[in-house]
Structure 1
Amino acid sequence: MAADPDLDVPAEEPREPPQPQVPPQPEPDPAEEEKRRREAEFALLNKEIDRVERKCRDYEATAMGTIDEAIATLELYKNKVMECDEDDEEALENVVKEFEKVWSEANYPSRVAPEAKPAKDMLACVGKLGKAIEKVCPKEKSWENATWDLKEHPIDRDALKEVIVNHFYRVGRFDIGDLYAESEGGELADVDPNAPKPIPPERREAMKAPFVEMWNVTWQIEREGDLSGLKTWLERNGDALVNKYTGAPPRVEFLLRKLEYVRMLTGHHRGSSGEEPDGKRARTEGNGAGVGDSGDVDGAAAAVAYGKEHFEKFTRLRDSKEANEVRRLMAAAVYARVGLENSPYRDIERECREIGGVLNPYTFDPDLRKRMEETAKGTEEDLADFEEIGSAWWELVNEFQSSHCILAGQPGEPPLLTIYNVGVIAMPTLVKAAQVARARGQDWNKVECIPADIDLPDKYMFRSIFVCPVSKEEATPENPPMMLTCGHALCRETTKTLAKPDGSFKCPYCPAVSTVDGCLELHL
């Protein structure tokens, strides 16, 4: 039967497709969100610090280059004046006029003045760093009028002065260290009888002695790319640096061998007095066997022989970082003919590259740095490649200085730098803890245990920490860890809590029974 078109039949409404069931998203943890936010802020702050450091190095290089150029000009015209005949006034006048013209055109004073571009760039970066610090660590108004009670917390001014002088010696600023060591406290000495006194010369020399050889070798590496001083130092101290548990040789020796190997592989090897190490030559001269500066056949063969001789002891621990690097270094020799920069191992070439006869373009050649930054401008990968250039040299210098200081009975890292790095990490937590203490009416100076964890890198953990597995409290001198007869450890207060009237208690982790008096105190 046909449908009547005149009948008003309501149209069927279209049905919406079923929506997929979205599982409920867990609410973000505010603490984790705050932690990620702070980490991002401090990452940006570290970038600003690095930028200021680079700009300061650029300005220092520009200023020192300008001063050296001015001195050379003065010496040149001084000699010209000395060569003039005393009776030849015309020749003398011509030399003076020529000097005035050259000096005016060179305009040395304006090139190092605060208004010059290098100085402006440096000062602008310093200003931005101050704003970045204020953003990450806002000033606490309640701390503006805070005072440090010197009677309750006395400071040994002379010891503090020695720490500061030691830091200057440690970072190679012997001139500033001597100047500060000889100072008598200035105006402070007139109003404070406890002002620090000058450090005696014999004490200064004793403080300086551990660092003199270190910086002589460092400057030899940084300024000339010469590794002979470091090799001599390693021959004398290498055995003391061997890991007494694994027998692994020191990493500073591996980095030295790595740089020597890559120098030979890329055809730029040079030892002390222009000779190759162990009598080997990394390049061919005049016989047509080489294939250019990017790598040559004889250089690759000499590099492989050098690697077989010196890398074997670093591969004994098969899963070590050095063993993995040795495998890549030896495989890179296959690409010596085409050049490492055109191979899958180009990162090795970048790490070990020397630029302009020096190790780091940032410090010694700001113009080169500017050109490289312009060519690297674009992707983050390009910028990362640029930052990687010469990194193996700086790792070698840092590793050598750390090893040298440890052998001399000094910390591997400058103590003031450690204080700064730990302070940057811990300050936000300490500020919050101080706010909580003040809100509870507690005296912040008398708080023995901070009610929060501060996550520090392992290298800044200078003592063992024990947390009781039962009470979850950190051990203190008043509540030390105690070892039970079964070998497990608990805090003393926990053992007393678990003990029966006769002093015995069952270990929470095994069936053994111990007594409070039978536990041994552990000294961390």
Structure 2
Amino acid sequence: MAENVQAALKEAERVVKKQKTCASKTIDAVDTLIREIAAARKRILAEQNTDAGSVLQELHKKLDRLDLTSQLAKETKDLHSAVNKLSKALDKAFVPDICKASREVQFDKGTLNQVIAQHFYQTGRFAVGDTFVREAQIPDSHALKEPFSAMHEILKEIRQHNLAPALAWAAEHCEELAATGAAAFEFKLHRLQFLNTLQQHGPGAALQYARMHFDAFKDSQMAEIQRLMGCLCYIKRPTSSPYADLMAPSQWEEVAREFARQCCGLMGQAYESPLLVSVAAGTVALPTLLKLATVMAGQGNQDLKTCEQLPVELELGNEFVFHSIFACPVSRDQSSPANPPMLLPCGHVLCEQSILKIAKSPTRSFKCPYCPVEATRSACRQIIFPDLQ
């Protein structure tokens, strides 16, 4: 799959080069044509006794010798050939009909519409979100929009190098930030404001700002404060100083991302749009699902669209693992507070519901499905995952 995509990308590069060459040759040909016609017209107008017919005949002969039409036809043909090769490469790299991987799953349309609207608001596309909310007739859309509207207003100010709104927000939510282990975020804002003051107004103003705001962080951020004081000595050559990383322009975008992350966290929302993550995960799983659909269709007795549970695990990668999980090897269901993972005396782990189904009774002994050791429900111990949702 990856090789086919790389081949398609190479064909796309060839198409781009051919298109540029074709456009350049076409412009040159048209300029030549205009130049020759203008010269013939000038000659006819300048010489009263000149036979216009003979001038036009000469023009036709000269244009025939230049053969501009054939040159343009060749370039256009080469471009069309490259586009056809790209089309074949894309067909080979991507499955044109992905509907084979779809399953008959019932969605709550209202909830899905809210997720889509939230995606637009979370990514700052408020005009599109308002139009979608209106056309989808989503109730209480103000509650969806308002938190993200305030967040993006502050993000806009941060990107314009104005930290005052962000500092006010951090001060207002300092207790909530401390409760989530993000108390250092307020210091990050003060640190960037100190550096901005240093660059804009000089060491005196920066030192005064540090005296006003750094005292509250002297116990937890002393090492970082000492580094910031070192910046005062290198104000005339910040890019070559040992503290160049602190003065890098990228600090503003990093603070903007961190603010969005903390703001979404306090709202009880994920930093990444849930819709965007779902689409990305589906994109990763799609090749496996398409292969699975083909295999199941060939067997004749199964259909991916109607099966209640996938017969294989889908590996999405670590970027899609957001908390500790346990999937029962028997039922393949993810554990939950109502169906926790249980450790058998033999060391194997099953979900509680699987144990009850195998034993058929809480007091009846049963054999572990992976080894011959017998156990009872009372002999199994629940396993606690600290971050299990």
Instruction: Tell me, yes or no, whether TM beats 0.5.
Output: yes
The counterpart of 1:158, out of the listed 110, 114, 130, is 110
Find the counterpart in structure 2 of residue 229 from structure 1.
165
What whole-Å deviation, never above 9, does each CA across 1:492-522 have from its counterpart, x for those lacking one? Answer: 668959xxx972779x99x9x8424543677
In the TM superposition, residue 170 of structure 1 has moved relative to its aligned partner by 1.9
In the TM superposition, residue 240 of structure 1 has moved relative to its aligned partner by 0.7
Find the counterpart in structure 1 of residue 365 from structure 2.
503
Corresponding position: 1:395 with 2:288: no
The counterpart of 1:464, out of the listed 325, 329, 332, is 325
**2:273 alignment partner AA:** P
CA distance in 2, matches of 1:403, 1:447: 38
CA distance in 2, matches of 1:503, 1:305: 70
What whole-Å deviation, never above 9, does each CA across 1:143-164 have from its counterpart, x for those lacking one? Answer: 46x5967xx5334333333222
What whole-Å deviation, never above 9, does each CA across 1:417-446 have from its counterpart, x for those lacking one? Answer: 212332343333333343443344431131
The counterpart of 1:138, out of the listed 83, 94, 104, is 94
Find the counterpart in structure 2 of residue 431 from structure 1.
290
CA distance in 1, matches of 2:197, 2:142: 40
Corresponding position: 1:252 with 2:192: no
Residues 161 and 467 of structure 1, relative CA distance in 2, 3 Å threshold:
closer
Corresponding position: 1:204 with 2:141: yes
Number of aligned positions between the proteins: 299
The counterpart of 1:490, out of the listed 349, 362, 374, is 349
CA distance in 2, matches of 1:331, 1:227: 20
CA distance in 1, matches of 2:266, 2:346: 36
The counterpart of 2:156, out of the listed 203, 211, 219, is 219
Find the counterpart in structure 2 of residue 242 from structure 1.
178
Find the counterpart in structure 2 of residue 4 from structure 1.
none
SS of the residue 1:483 aligns to:
strand
Q: Which structure has the higher relative contact order (CA within 8 Å, separation 6+)?
A: 2
Cα RMSD after superposing both structures: 4.7
Find the counterpart in structure 2 of residue 443 from structure 1.
303
Deviates more, 1:445-454 or 1:514-523: 514-523
SS of the residue 1:348 aligns to:
coil
**1:205 alignment partner AA:** H
In the TM superposition, residue 307 of structure 1 has moved relative to its aligned partner by 7.9
Structure 2 unmatched ranges of 5 or more: 14-82
The counterpart of 1:343, out of the listed 228, 241, 251, is 241
Residues 305 and 327 of structure 1, relative CA distance in 2, 3 Å threshold:
closer
Structure 1 unmatched ranges of 5 or more: 1-33, 49-126, 184-195, 269-281, 284-295, 317-322, 354-389
Find the counterpart in structure 1 of residue 123 from structure 2.
171
Residues 304 and 250 of structure 1, relative CA distance in 2, 3 Å threshold:
closer
- The question of whether the paired residues in 2 share the 8 Å contact of 1:251 and 1:399 is answered with no
**2:95 alignment partner AA:** K
What whole-Å deviation, never above 9, does each CA across 1:478-498 have from its counterpart, x for those lacking one? Answer: 9x665348796621668959x
Residues 239 and 436 of structure 1, relative CA distance in 2, 3 Å threshold:
farther
What whole-Å deviation, never above 9, does each CA across 1:16-37 have from its counterpart, x for those lacking one? Answer: xxxxxxxxxxxxxxxxxx8xx5
**2:152 alignment partner AA:** W
- The question of whether the paired residues in 1 share the 8 Å contact of 2:328 and 2:335 is answered with no
- The question of whether the paired residues in 1 share the 8 Å contact of 2:345 and 2:379 is answered with no
In the TM superposition, residue 302 of structure 1 has moved relative to its aligned partner by 4.3
- The question of whether the paired residues in 1 share the 8 Å contact of 2:281 and 2:320 is answered with no
Residues 238 and 264 of structure 1, relative CA distance in 2, 3 Å threshold:
same
TM-score normalised by L of structure 2: 0.59
In the TM superposition, residue 309 of structure 1 has moved relative to its aligned partner by 2.5
In the TM superposition, residue 405 of structure 1 has moved relative to its aligned partner by 2.5
What whole-Å deviation, never above 9, does each CA across 1:49-96 have from its counterpart, x for those lacking one? Answer: xxxxxxxxxxxxxxxxxxxxxxxxxxxxxxxxxxxxxxxxxxxxxxxx
TM-score normalised by L of structure 1: 0.46
CA distance in 1, matches of 2:332, 2:263: 35
Residues 421 and 348 of structure 1, relative CA distance in 2, 3 Å threshold:
farther
Find the counterpart in structure 2 of residue 29 from structure 1.
none
What whole-Å deviation, never above 9, does each CA across 1:241-286 have from its counterpart, x for those lacking one? Answer: 2255xxx444532431231132233x22xxxxxxxxxxxxx53xxx
